[in-house]
Structure 1
């Protein structure tokens, strides 16, 4: 009844365990049905590519599943690839192997179940699979747990994809809301400027009114002839009172406008704070984790284009085209992924020499087909072919389009 699960295994009676020594086998000798999950959990895509490269394989055009396939084709016996995989796993999980040496066989399955429940199944599955001479019932249970863990992982992955789609919709809504807030801020700025101009005009009128009120007493202080008509004096007093009322009205209006101006300044500060929060939330949703601040970027916050260690950076991406004002946000997305970033706005008036230098020192080039020149698109395509660089054309110049490309690029 165990032929399907234990295919290719030479079963022997379980060895009696002692407290002094528990023997482990080489990776290529473990049951065939456990090799795939152990490699999938224990060997990352980057480590698998490194192993294949050291064994003389071409890995540049391989997808992650192709890397996994090539490794699995070589671990049936003690090949160079299998020995390197064995060495990497033993080095990575050495501490875990030491901890489970003294465990009796009956405790291995509960250990694996507890590790799967805690999300730490990689080292537990490896330690159990490496034990020699496991009893048939224990080995079948281990294979069954590994098999069902794959189903659970696939279900969780599909649920995560659904959440990702919902998050993309939320990003779109937040982006639209951010654009609305920006338009509102610009409108309030125009209103504030108009009110400032009005206040300036009122102050000028108030200053002229004050000068006129100073001249009036001087005229009245001059000696008056006895024959001055009383009606003229009354009219003068009435004019003076009218001017005073106009001045008081201007003062009240000026104070009212000053209050409105202060309120608008406070509102603008609030909108700027809300815009920053919305921008951070959009960036967090786009890259799938909290966005790093500009002051917390690697290399002491310096941009990659000015970093003295730029030439020794392991992974670097060049973006040609897009919105120039969005360059800081493009950079934050790339550096949050752990990548170096360079930018070229797509202007070819300076020739291809500068662009060619940037292409030659980058690992991948992304080129939005919108917000870009046809000459830049053609030139970067030829340069990537010349220098054997990977190029990705983006349908838009949005942050989400750039993020989608970087998700498939190992850091």
Structure 2
């Protein structure tokens, strides 16, 4: 048991000092510990614990005795040292303890002594009271400074992360350059070895008949090259004449009257038929030509809700026969293969068809020698443009063949 040299004042007799004693001499962790010991079931905020312990210390002798014993044991060394002083010397000892950072222990040691004059107690209490105010102001200032430092720290962390990512990229680029340089060095060594071998071979050929043979071959190759250049010039001239001839044929075809409709004004034919020059056109005299002449058009994929509009464009506007496959292969590829076989043209919107569907359509069309048109978009405008291009291309080929036959 600790024995002190001075007589101590009980905590029950210091009700006016309970608030500063508890607030100065006990930490928040110790407040929680005492609350658990005496089964405190209220709110665990620091203020609620503080007020509960003050109230309990006044009303419960058991709590008061426990606090007295706990604080005496906690600040035993400070109390024993201050018990050596009294009067003005005690004030000097108090100032020294404050400078050493032992404010709580010295405060408890002076308040609990019965022989300390009221003037010294009042002075010590006043200093502790002002310390609490000054400490609160310093805490607020430090909190502001801490908030500013925290923001600066976050900015520094972000810059550090950016710098690290940049360094990682630079390190990766450096490693890639190192590998590339190493590969180039290997290729350079191989090139040097090949160059050395070729130099040796050239030296061996300089004094042999093989060099004369090579020179003769070089001369022959130069002559052949010159002949090929002459032939290329002639072929280019023939190509230019053929292109001019083809352009003239196009102008003649565009300006000639429709052989079916018998309309002589250019561009006034109600419908252009790709089979207008053929004798087996399925339409009668004067009948509007739908341009696709009942050809089977297979659409793979596309939007389900646009199916009626797809059908209206292909059958109503262009006179074809509309088929559609939704691009689903859960029942196998046999259904799609049978539809591709009877189709004249296959159209597949890439954006609304699966990758497997596009690959399957391309393979089937290539195997069965069917025209395949890939649309970038599933819209009606893209479908109309593709059909128009297809009809114009087919019509132009038919007109050119007819012109050649007439000549």
State the TM-score, normalizing by the size of structure 1.
0.47
Higher Cα radius of gyration: 2
Scaled by the length of structure 2, the TM-score of the pair is 0.47
